[in-house]
Amino acid sequence: MSAVNETLIRDVVAEVLGKLGGAAPAMAKPSPAPSAPAPKPEAASPSVKRASAAPALRGKFGVFATADEACAAAQEAFLQLKQKGVEARRKIEEIVKTLAEANAEAWGKIEYDETQIGRLDHKIAKLKIIKLVPGVDWLRPDARSGDHGITLEEYTPFGVVGAITPSTHSIPTLSGNIVNICAAGNSVVFNAHPSAARCAAVAVRAYNEAIYRATGIENIACIIEKPTLDSFNALCKNEFTRLLLVTGGPMVVKAAMQTGKRAICAGPGNPPVFVDATCCPTRAAKAIIEGAAFDNNLLCIGEKEVFVLDQVADKLMQKMSENGAVRLNAAQLEKLTKAAFTFKEGQGGGCAHASVNRDFIGKDPSVLAQAAGINLPSGTQLLFAETDAEHPFVYEEQMMPMLPIVRVKSVEEGIERSLVAEHNYKHTAIIHSHDVENITAMARALDTTLFVKNGASPAGLGLGGEGYLSFSIATPTGEGITNPRTFTRVRRCVMVDNLRIY
Ligand code: NAD
């Protein structure tokens, strides 16, 4: 190593460790990589050399104790990726997609074992489809050409993205986020949900080990090993964090918006389904069951309540019973409601306010049935019951395989009640109808990010409908189904009076 390099590296180590609150030691040997050769010294810009020299960041493969360490490592990786170019981004995309599929069984199981919510088969399925997330090819520059020359608008990275992931799909969200964020040339630091953080760290380490072997970049996707609210705050505050991506419920969306950093927020939903008299009841029933039963209704896009026109309601429920759903009677519904919600005295009018009992979130239909006092035939996918429009199962995002069905007298009432139940989250709504006027009226009234007609909710994410996949659907902030372009800055490059050839 040349004297210049050594001095430079020593300075940078001091700078990085200074930021991490430690003293600069004598130049230490980098920790050996467990399953990969030590990184080759970069032959390029000083910024890359600077970042690649910090021994505290070696050998971690993305898993760090603190947000500041993770952000320093991610910043180093961002600079390395910048140096290595689009080919390295392609490699990262390919590795994440390939490993997610290859490890779907193993990782699905560790996520299920850790979180104890959802369904193992669907945890596995969610990992197998990461390949449907867009990648590097999504980013096509826009060009203009005219008498004054040519102009190119390119989609360029921010740097380090801080990402918050939910308990409901930890490794799938993390994997899809890495593909989208790194395809755009960024690196990422995750603060996972505490109850789904161990499995997330397993995936992060595996991704980084493979990416390191292929590209020499060790920490392109980092994670805070034991996430807390403090580590969330530290991640948001860190100077390297340029952008936030939050996937979760109302509290974390609010917290992210208060940080002062730009936040892309994939927030909560409570998707209503409206069924009118022109629908095909069999198709509607099957689609509703498919969407609401998926992963025990953990998906933010999953059908959470159904409003159905009176004249088709009995037929729809009969078809649901014939296709794997079991109907609860009023007494069974009451027992389940008492177990699945707690009722606290509300403010203002003093009405009791229901909140979901987390012990029931994402549990199997058999667990809910036990609370309702019935035994289920094997293979039951979903429970359903007739309720009124003000029932907690209607207005709470319950995330359970139990669907409330509400009769309505008119299309207008069905749309109005759907609007109220959606809480203006502008997330997802579904209609089963062959009347284009009704479809248009609901689309206009609810104004949701996803609006699925005559299919199951996953069709909105390219699963049974046209489109692409992401597990982060940016609703309150409006970016929609996130893709690589979501994580870019638009930069314009103008050549005046030249290079227009003809
Ligand atoms: P959650 O809101 O409890 O947690 C989500 C993440 O935010 C976790 O990492 C958690 O640790 C963190 N968090 C929660 N409160 C926080 C706060 N005050 N400050 C900082 N961090 C905080 O949600 P969950 O139960 O893990 O996931 C389900 C929720 O996420 C549902 O509301 C669902 O609709 C939503 N979700 C939305 C999308 C989408 O794409 N729009 C995707 C998946 C889940």
For every residue of 58-117, DSSP letters joined together read TT-TTEESSHHHHHHHHHHHHHHHHHHHHHHHHHHHHHHHHHHHHTHHHHHHHHHHHH--
Q: Whose CA is nearest to atom 34 of ligand 1?
A: 268
Name which of 54-63, 198-207, 229-238, 424-433 the model is least confident about. 54-63
Ligand 1 within 6 A of CB of 193: yes
Name which of 220-234, 332-346, 383-397 the model is least confident about. 332-346
CA distance 224 to 346: 36
Q: pLDDT at residue 42 above 80?
A: no
Ligand 1 within 6 A of CB of 118: no
Q: pLDDT at residue 435 above 90?
A: yes
Ligand 1 centroid–CA 266 distance in Å is 9
pLDDT grade, residue 44 (50/70/90)?
A: very low
Q: Which pLDDT score, from 0 to 100, does residue 351 have?
A: 55
Ligand 1 within 6 A of CB of 200: no
Q: Which pLDDT score, from 0 to 100, does residue 172 have?
A: 98
Residue type at 95 in one-letter notation: I
Name which of 14-23, 254-263, 393-402 the model is least confident about. 14-23
Q: How many helices (H) and strands (E) does the chain have?
A: 16, 20
| % of residues, the chain, pLDDT over 90 | 85
- Is the model more confident about 445 or about 9? 445
Q: Which pLDDT score, from 0 to 100, does residue 242 have?
A: 98
Residues 201-226, mean pLDDT to the nearest whole number: 98
Q: Which of 224, 251, 303 to mutate to test the pocket of ligand 1 (most atoms within 8 A of CB)?
A: 251
Q: Whose CA is nearest to atom 21 of ligand 1?
A: 252
Contact 53, 13 (CB under 8 A): yes
Q: Which pLDDT score, from 0 to 100, does residue 405 have?
A: 98
Ligand 1 centroid–CA 281 distance in Å is 34
Ligand 1 centroid–CA 390 distance in Å is 25
Ligand 1 within 6 A of CB of 483: no
CA distance 182 to 114: 27
Residues 188-196, mean pLDDT to the nearest whole number: 98
CA distance 494 to 481: 30
Q: Which pLDDT score, from 0 to 100, does residue 185 have?
A: 98
Q: pLDDT at residue 118 above 70?
A: yes
Residues 6+ apart with CB under 8 A from 194: 226, 227, 228
Q: pLDDT at residue 287 above 90?
A: yes
Computed over every residue of the chain, the mean pLDDT equals 90
Q: pLDDT at residue 297 above 80?
A: yes
Per DSSP, what are the bridge partners of residue 325? Answer: 382
Its sign, for the CA torsion 146, 484, 215, 15, is positive
Q: Which pLDDT score, from 0 to 100, does residue 233 have?
A: 98
Ligand 1 within 6 A of CB of 251: yes
Residues 287-293, mean pLDDT to the nearest whole number: 98
pLDDT grade, residue 352 (50/70/90)?
A: low
Nearest atom, ligand 1, residue 482 CA:
40
Ligand 1 centroid–CA 248 distance in Å is 2
Q: What's the token pair of residue 83?
A: 């140096």
CA distance 71 to 471: 23
Question: Which residue intervals of 116-168 are DSSP H helices?
Answer: 120-128
Ligand 1 centroid–CA 480 distance in Å is 17
Q: Which of 168, 224, 449 to mutate to test the pocket of ligand 1 (most atoms within 8 A of CB)?
A: 168
DSSP state of 240: T
Q: Which pLDDT score, from 0 to 100, does residue 502 have?
A: 86
CA count, 13 A, side-chain hemisphere, 391 = 26
Ligand 1 within 6 A of CB of 397: yes
Ligand 1 within 6 A of CB of 163: no
Per residue in 132-169, pLDDT tens? 999 999 999 999 999 999 999 999 999 999 999 999 99
Q: Whose CA is nearest to atom 25 of ligand 1?
A: 167
Nearest atom, ligand 1, residue 248 CA:
30
Ligand 1 centroid–CA 69 distance in Å is 24
Q: Strands 352-356 and 382-386, how do they pair?
A: unpaired
Name which of 16-20, 78-82, 382-386, 470-474 the model is least confident about. 16-20
CA distance 471 to 425: 17
Q: pLDDT at residue 463 above 50?
A: yes
Q: Whose CA is nearest to atom 17 of ligand 1?
A: 252
